[in-house]
Amino acid sequence: MNGQKSKRVGKKYAQLVETAKGLFLKHGIKRVTVEEICEKASVSKVTFYKHFSDKIQVARIIVDQLNDEGFSKFDEINRLDLPYPDKVDMMTQWRVAFFSQMAPEFIEDVLVFEDIHQEVQKRYLRNITDAQEKGEIRPDLSPELILLVTEKLNEIVKDGSWKAIFTDFNEFQRQIRKMYYYGLLENQ
């Protein structure tokens, strides 16, 4: 076990992970080959296979790192003593910046990791429930319905259909959040 652990923190291991991360974020997981990772990292394929069984294993390590980073930021924002809409704005701005570093192909390739999607849903539902308990969100709405609507809104982002109406993504996000959190009716 100690030998395995020392491999994981070694220079070549870190070099391979960082190189793969750069390539995956730019081109997606499917398009990148082990040969490309090794060539760009100046590491032999033998060394690659000492550390990883295949590129999916290294991809999983990278996705887990990104996932941990995202959840850390989510938790950090959630702990702030701010009104819920301000937290949502901060989370959205961070998400936009975070995902803008990733090629659409990478994001699509990551969607096969079902456990990540389930963890995101679980955390989102917990966030909604906590906000309801604090009186920040209407308690008479089902958290599962809120999640479903949010996922459908995310599909609009993914498929790009918002571009037919907006030229600026931030303005699109601002109006969606305003409509979503404050509704359509004026002064209810």
Q: Give the CA-trace dihedral at 87, 90, 96, 101, to 10 degrees.
A: -120
For the record, the structure tokens of 165 come out as 């109406």
Element (H, E) at 48: helix 45-51
Element (H, E) at 49: helix 45-51
82-96: per-residue pLDDT in tens?
988 888 888 888 887
Q: How far apart are CA 5 and CA 2, in angstroms?
A: 5
Q: What class is the 2-56 domain?
A: mainly alpha
Q: Give the CA-trace dihedral at 33, 37, 40, 41, to 10 degrees.
A: -170
52-68: per-residue pLDDT in tens?
999 999 999 999 999 89
5-47: per-residue pLDDT in tens?
444 468 999 999 999 999 999 999 999 999 999 999 999 999 9
Number of Cβ atoms within 10 Å of the Cβ of 44: 12
For the record, the structure tokens of 93 come out as 């701005």
Q: Where are the domains of the chain?
A: 2-56, 62-182
Given this model, what pLDDT does residue 4 score? 47
Residue type, 29: I
Q: How far apart are CA 175 and CA 92, in angstroms?
A: 12
